[in-house]
A = this chain, B = another copy of it.
């Protein structure tokens, strides 16, 4: 199954004195992809807050392959590898859109919590159904 894809551009704000994208910023890009994926499924995070729910990153591992640079157009790919009762497991890639080179690969486990108290809770049934049906790129 093909991944969910969005593009993002590298600006000065994303780079560091090494002349490349600062390593933590790939994780910002990956959250943009997760946010747009959920939005494409009909779930804005703002509305989740109103329902007293929030997603937080539980754990992640990331492997940096090649650096991105100023003005590069990036391709953010996302797959949901697992939909559990109270968490989602994402596989995410950042590639250079033009060369196709893989820049960063990560697995990110995102937990669903009650916003008050921050205790784990079940992902709403409507979202689990939407996730099962998958989403195509916007």
Interface on A for B, CB 8 Å cutoff?
9, 11-13, 15-20, 22-25, 27-28, 31-32, 35-36, 39, 44-46, 49, 54, 56-64, 67, 69-71, 115, 118
B28 touches A11 (CB 8 A): yes
Q: In whole angstroms, how far apart are the Cα atoms of A25 and B22 in the complex?
A: 12
Contacts of A39 in B (CB 8 A): 71
Contact of A45 among B12, B49, B54, B58 (CB under 8 A): B12
Q: How many copies does the complex hold?
A: 4
A60 touches B61 (CB 8 A): yes
A15 touches B16 (CB 8 A): yes
A63 touches B67 (CB 8 A): no
Contact of A58 among B59, B60, B64 (CB under 8 A): B64
Top 5 A-B pairs, shortest CB-CB distance: A15-B17, A61-B61, A46-B71, A24-B27, A59-B63
